[in-house]
Amino acid sequence: MMNFAVFASGNGSNLQAIINAVKKGRVRANLKLVVSDNPSAYALKRAKKANIRSIVVEPIGFPDRESFDREIIKRLEQEQIDFIVLAGFMRILSPVFIRKYPHKILNIHPAILPAFKGAHAIKDAFEYGVKVTGVTVHFIDEKVDHGPIILQELVKVSPRGTLASLEKKIHAIEHKIYPKAVDLFARGCIKIHGRTVKIR
């Protein structure tokens, strides 16, 4: 069974969805470690409650992103981590990190990529007036919100809805499809051909 780490900087609701899925046997992999750059992250409390080891590596004190990432890589190697799941980790990983784990870093984005990249995707889509938005699970590469797409699911935007109601719908979809993507990866069901991800 593969070991994986979840990286989170904040509330950790996607982390919680993954923890629940692991406990129910819907993710067939060992969630061995939670990593955060924020000692106040609620995600750390979720990890503690679930008896999952967690570490905090704060960027203060590191001269650059690469040094920070090398420290995290060292910790991952100590824990024999096979792949990484980003769940609201608010730092851009350096090429040093990405090249260490090629096609082994999963991320979730609250829009249908390549539309509405960036940190405010739900708000951006809502304010643009789209009729449909959604959720994308993808691999990380060296460009932001760019790597090969694993899963996507659409969300209709109600003309009577609010930003808050749209966020709620988006998060519900995230909590459903992210554990599914993690399980597919852990079971070796994903094959990558260029930008195309095939699921078997």
Per-residue pLDDT 10s for the chain (200 aa) are 999 999 999 999 999 999 999 999 999 999 999 999 999 999 999 999 999 999 999 999 899 999 999 999 999 999 999 999 999 999 889 999 999 999 999 999 999 999 999 989 999 999 999 999 999 999 999 888 899 999 999 999 999 999 999 999 999 999 999 999 999 999 999 999 989 999 98
Query: What is the helix, strand, coil percentage profile of the chain, to 5?
Result: 35, 25, 40
- In this prediction the pTM is 0.95
Burial 38-73 (b: 16+ CB within 10 A, else e): beebbbbebbeebebebbebeeeeeeebeebbeebe
User: What is the set of domains in the chain, with CATH numbers?
Assistant: 3-199 (3.40.50.170)
Which of 109, 120, 171, 193 is labelled catalytic? 109
Active site residue 171: no
